[in-house]
């Protein structure tokens, strides 16, 4: 099993777009895909989710590409998470456990209690961090 990287890719995309905004450039899925080292189709799917959430918009015509809809300081990682993840960081069994088993019967409610607490803490942390914070932190790594 591999971890879901949708959040990581979305933050990467928005951080790239934030840098482009500083440089008065328009982001393209091909350029972003080069940075993420993935197929542009993956980036376009991510951009579609971000557009539905109102975080980015497509720019048509000359200089076509993608732009942020607001300043990077105004976009929290929580908003990004809610745009691309949904459902929380941990999922339950794909098929219901055996209800006749003493563990299978009670594992879901027990885990749900733990997961709910973790989700709340995670969302609080994500709400404190913005895309501008990410860009600043990334750029300081280069020095």
Residue spans per domain, the chain:
6-141
CATH architecture of 6-141: Orthogonal Bundle (1.10)
User: What's the pTM?
Assistant: 0.86
Burial 98-115 (b: 16+ CB within 10 A, else e): eeeeeeeeeeeeeeeeeb
| Closest C-alpha among 55, 39, 37 to residue 47 | 55
Residue 60 predicted with pLDDT over 80: yes
Residues 22-47 have pLDDT tens digits of 999 999 999 999 999 999 999 999 99
Residue 90: exposed, middle, or buried by beta-carbon count in 10 A (0-12, 13-18, 19+)?
A: exposed
pLDDT at position 1: 39
């Amino acid at each position: 099993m591999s971890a879901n990287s949708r959040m990581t890719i979305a933050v990467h995309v928005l951080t790239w777009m934030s840098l482009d905004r500083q440089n008065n450039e328009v982001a393209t899925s091909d350029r972003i895909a080069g940075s993420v080292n993935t197929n542009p189709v993956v980036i376009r799917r991510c951009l579609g989710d971000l557009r539905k959430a109102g975080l980015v918009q497509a720019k048509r015509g000359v200089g076509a590409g993608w732009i942020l809809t607001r300043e990077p300081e105004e976009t929290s990682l929580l908003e990004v998470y809610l745009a691309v993840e949904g459902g929380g960081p941990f999922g339950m069994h794909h098929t219901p456990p055996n209800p006749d088993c003493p563990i299978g019967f009670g594992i879901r409610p027990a885990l749900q209690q733990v997961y709910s607490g973790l989700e709340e803490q995670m969302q609080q942390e994500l709400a404190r961090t913005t895309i501008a914070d990410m860009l600043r932190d990334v750029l300081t790594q280069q020095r």
